[in-house]
Every structure is written in C-alpha cells, then in structure tokens.
Amino acid sequence: MICWGKKLISMFCLVLCGYLVVPSGAQSLSSHVSHVQTQPDAAFLVDAAPTFPIGFTGGPPTGAAAPNGTNAMTYLSRERFTFQLWYCPPRKWGSAKEAELDDLLREANKQGMHVAISIADLQHIKTGDAEHLAELQRVVKKYRDNPALFFWKGTDEPQWGKIPVEDLRVYYDTIHALDPNHPIWITQAPRGTVEDWKPYSQFFDIGAVDIYPISYPPGTHSGIDNKELSVVGDYALRIRESTDYRKPTMMVLQICWSGVAKPGSTLRFPTFADERYMTYQAIIDGARGLVYFGGNVVPCLNERDAAYGWNWNFYDRILSPVLDELRPDGPLYPALIAPHSNLKLSSDGGAAMEFTVREAGDYVYVIAARREGATVKVSYSGLPQDVRDGEVLFESPRHVTVEDGKFTDWFGPHDVHVYRFRRQ
C-alpha cells in the first residue's frame, strides 16, 4: 500500500504541473501512450499519478464549438482529466464509423480530451467467431497506442440485456492480451441484484451503474424500493459489493435521459442541489470516477443548444459549478484520490447520514451528506485529538469547532458538507 503523506503531495503536484493540466487554450495530449492502471476499490492511476476522471456520455460533436466560440472539447477540458464516450450502435460498425472515430481521436489529441471506445458489434463475440475476433484484434492494435485512448467500453448493461456472461470472455481476453495499458469498463443497469451482477465482474476492470432518479413521477428509473435521490448511493454500494471490493467503480449520473424526454413524459432536469448531492453521495459511497449522461440527448436541448449539439445550458448553469469543486487545483482533490482512511469516525445521525473520511498530507477530510428526512443537528466524533478547527469547503467563511475529537453541524435533506481539518 502506498504511504499517502509526502508521496501523495508529490504525486498531486505531478497532476497539477504536468500531464493532466490543461491551460485556457487548447493543449495537445502527451504523445506517449497513457498507462491507465486500476487498484482494488481505490483511485485510478494514470502514468502512476492518482486521478479522479470525469466523463461525458456522449460528448459534443467532433469539431463543434461551445456557445462562447471556444472549441467544445477544450471548454470541457477545463475540468482537467476528462473523457467522453464514443459509441457505435449494433450493426453499424464499418468504414464510415471508423472514419468518424478517427476524426474524434484526432480532435481529442489536439484539444486535450480522452476517449472511451465502445463498438457494440465487437463486445460479445461467441467463441469460434473468427471473423469478429479478427476485427476486434485489428481495432485494438490500431487504437491501443493512440494517446487519447482512456478506456475500452464493454457491453452496456449486460445483466439487464440478458447477455450470457461467457459472451464477454473473448472481448476481455483479447483486449488484455493486446493492450496492457487501457482497462475495460462495463456499466450495469439499475436492475437485478448484487448476486446477479457478480458473475460479470470477472470480465471487466471498472464497474459502473447508470441511475437517473430525476423524473415525474420520481424514481421511475430505479429498480429497487428507493425512488429518491439517495438511490444513487445505494447503487454505488451495490456495484462495489458485486466486485467483492476488488475493482474501482464509477457512477453514471443524470444530465437528461429518455425517461423524461420521450413523448408523453414531462421533461425534468436535476437542480444544482440535486446534482451536487448525487455527485457527492456517489463519492461518499465509493465512486472513483464520475460520468454524466445525456448532454447529447436531442429532445433535451433548447433551441440554442440544438445548433451546438450539446446541452451547454445545463452544463453552464448546473454541472460546471458542481465540477468546479472537484478540480485538481481545488482544495478537495487530494481527498478524492486518497484511499479510505482508517480513522474510526462515528455519527449520531443514524442511517440517514452518510460520510467518508480521507487523509492527505496534513489534512483530514470528512465528506458528509444527509439522505431524505428532517433537518437535524448531527455530531461526529473520533477526529484526532490535535484537531481544533475545521473549514467547511465551498461554504466560506464557515468553520466548525472541534473539541475532544468531536464536532456538530446542521443537515437538511440532501445537504452536503465538505470538511477539511488541519492537524496541528
């Protein structure tokens, strides 16, 4: 296990000062192949640097501009380590789609974006299917050394889609044999049980769940009894459990989805408070990266954004202010890439209070959120005895006082507080 003191700070400086930082203008990616490693239930390592990736499914059209005239990829790269999914639907892979992917990767290398490649026709190949196996081998060899490549995406929602587990073996084994630098990511639908998901975990390196609880009526996307916002954390815990905590996980969160955009439905978006709560609850419950779905869903675009092909209205008003709190040059980032702390904090807030504790450098971080329920005053105890004061990040100038390792604060439903305590 890495010693997360001075070594973490030096790695963090690498993130800030080198490969992952994108200045205000466009910056090409490093010309070398990114080495992406996974750790059991811990941060991603990109060229050995702990990293908290932010993804978009899907991203803006290749070559498109944001409304302010900036290249769209460059604009999204303000979030620092970002990637977008490129998806080829079933029965569509061919020379035209390959040229589209080539154009996207060329643009991504120029603008500082990364890409996860998803080609449905190659993701569940039957044993003995020589034609599709040969094509998968060709594709992996072609793109494995592209600096913009980040992940290979496996079959989407395989358990819900009733894809036999063994049908994922050829894809997994072939990519791992040919490309040691880029892991395989699979997303499960919010359906089925932990036991239903477990067999699939042998054929991916990164697990995820997509869950979009904002709708009328609420929670129609959820496959469990919980239809509230806190279902995000419930599924984050489930996907981790389904891997036996041996693999990192991500959560795919809502911008917009078909359940609020199809005919007869009522269009509904998360508010800032909704999106912030879902983001932090996912982190509290173990997500080591986040993906935001639906920026390119056409019925969700207003007249202006339809011309740009992406939901910039939602991004600028709602999502960007949330992601600003997660930036690598921000005060929280060392906690996002740190391992789970061994400090034994306790809360008197009951099951409605969720929190995680991280340690980095001279700081102890506590990220806490309240599920649904009444507004309450909650006490936490178990901080180191040398801690006297805690800054409440993103709520300046607010602080909490610590006495004998204990502090108290108020939480309303879906409130999130992020505390940073400096050791003496």
- Total residue count of the chain as it appears in this document: 424
Q: How many whole angstroms from its chain centre is CA 338?
A: 16
- Residues 318 and 76: beta-carbon distance below 8 Å: no
User: Residue 32's pLDDT is what?
Assistant: 74
User: Residue 256's pLDDT is what?
Assistant: 97
Same-domain pairing of 158 and 16: yes
**Radius of gyration for the alpha carbons in the chain, expressed in angstroms and rounded:** 21
SS3 32: coil
Same-domain pairing of 10 and 74: yes
Same-domain pairing of 364 and 226: no
- Residues 90 and 122: beta-carbon distance below 8 Å: no
- The answer to whether residue 159 sits within a structural domain is yes
d(CA 152, CA 123): 10
d(CA 25, CA 23): 5
pLDDT tens digit sequence for 139-160: 999 999 999 999 999 999 999 9
Domain count, the chain: 2
Same-domain pairing of 171 and 290: yes
CATH number for position 399: 2.60.40.1180
d(CA 317, CA 97): 33
User: Residue 29's pLDDT is what?
Assistant: 57
Same-domain pairing of 411 and 311: no
Return the structure tokens found at 364: 């102890």
SS3 103: helix
Which of the residue ranges 15-19, 177-181, 352-356 would you say has the lowest mean pLDDT? 15-19
Q: DSSP assignment, residue 316? A: I
- Give the end of a domain, one of 336, 359, 381: 336
Nearest to 159 by CA among 192, 203, 185, 186: 192
The C-alpha torsion from 140 through 35 and 283 to 85, rounded to 10°, is -30
Same-domain pairing of 163 and 120: yes
Same-domain pairing of 274 and 367: no
Residue 317 clears pLDDT 90, i.e. is over it: yes
Cβ-based neighbour number of residue 302 at 10 Å: 11
Q: DSSP assignment, residue 340? A: B
- The answer to whether residue 202 sits within a structural domain is yes
User: Residue 25's pLDDT is what?
Assistant: 39
Same-domain pairing of 99 and 165: yes
Residue 393 clears pLDDT 60, i.e. is over it: yes
User: Residue 106's pLDDT is what?
Assistant: 97
Residue 6 clears pLDDT 60, i.e. is over it: no
State the residue for tokens 């079959």: 155
User: Residue 34's pLDDT is what?
Assistant: 85
Confidence label for 361 from pLDDT (cuts 50, 70 and 90): very high
Same-domain pairing of 76 and 187: yes
Same-domain pairing of 26 and 115: yes
Instruction: Quote the percentage of the chain above a pLDDT of 70.
Output: 92
Nearest to 188 by CA among 272, 252, 101, 269: 252
Average pLDDT, the chain: 92
Cβ-based neighbour number of residue 241 at 10 Å: 15
**Percent of the chain that is helix, strand, coil (3-state, to 5):** 35, 25, 45
- The answer to whether residue 222 sits within a structural domain is yes
Same-domain pairing of 396 and 253: no
DSSP alpha helix (H) spans, 116-254: 130-143, 169-178, 194-197, 231-242
Same-domain pairing of 249 and 381: no
Residues with Cβ within 8 Å of 54's Cβ and at least 6 positions away in sequence, in order, are 79, 80, 81, 82, 83, 289, 290, 291, 292, 323, 326
Mean pLDDT for the stretch of residues 381-409: 97
Return the structure tokens found at 288: 């080591």
Nearest to 318 by CA among 395, 220, 214, 209: 214
Residue 64 exposure: Cα atoms within 13 Å on the Cβ side: 17
- Give the end of a domain, one of 336, 357, 376: 336
The pTM for the full model equals 0.92
Write out the residue range of the structural domain in which residue 223 sits.
6-336
